[in-house]
Amino acid sequence: MEIIRTTIIRTAHHKTETVAYNIDYSTTQGQLERAQINVYRPPVGEVSEEYLGSVHYDGQTLSSSLRWSDDLAGIFETAASFIAEIIKSVDGEGTEAVSGADTGHTIANEKQR
């Protein structure tokens, strides 16, 4: 049997006081193939978690579907910085944690399949 392609799927999570990011991404042969970042407002008191939307990366194309909010630009910037840092980190594979580019955030691997 000849292995012709290796794909790794990772799931990560990052949470601030106001926003939570669930990050799923796949790499093939050391290149980022796809990423999906789902964005939530964390629960506060009796109010449950609120879904704000998502940011998608697919073959160097970035798209998003985020609800309008006063901090929309910051949310998008943080999501884009995670994608930029993932792209840097997967060059050759092998990292276990990824830092957000200009934001100082860190996303840690939770699952590798």
68 burial level (CB within 10 Å; 0-12, 13-18, 19+): exposed
Share of the chain above pLDDT 70, in %: 81
How many contiguous H segments (helices) and E segments (strands) does the chain have? 1, 7
pLDDT in tens, 52-69: 999 999 988 999 999 999
Domain ranges of the chain: 7-112
53 Cβ neighbours under 8 A, 6+ residues apart: 38, 39, 64, 65, 66, 67
Residue 107 or residue 103, greater confidence: 107
pLDDT in tens, 11-31: 999 999 899 999 999 999 889
At residue 45, what are phi and psi to the nearest 5 degrees?
55, -120
pLDDT for the residue 95:
36
- Across 20-32, b (16+ Cβ under 10 Å) vs e yields bbbbebbbeeeeb
Q: Please answer whether residues 32 and 57 qualify as being in contact, where contact means their C-beta atoms are separated by less than 8 angstroms.
A: yes
Give the model's confidence band at 97: pLDDT under 50 very low, under 70 low, under 90 confident, else very high.
Answer: very low
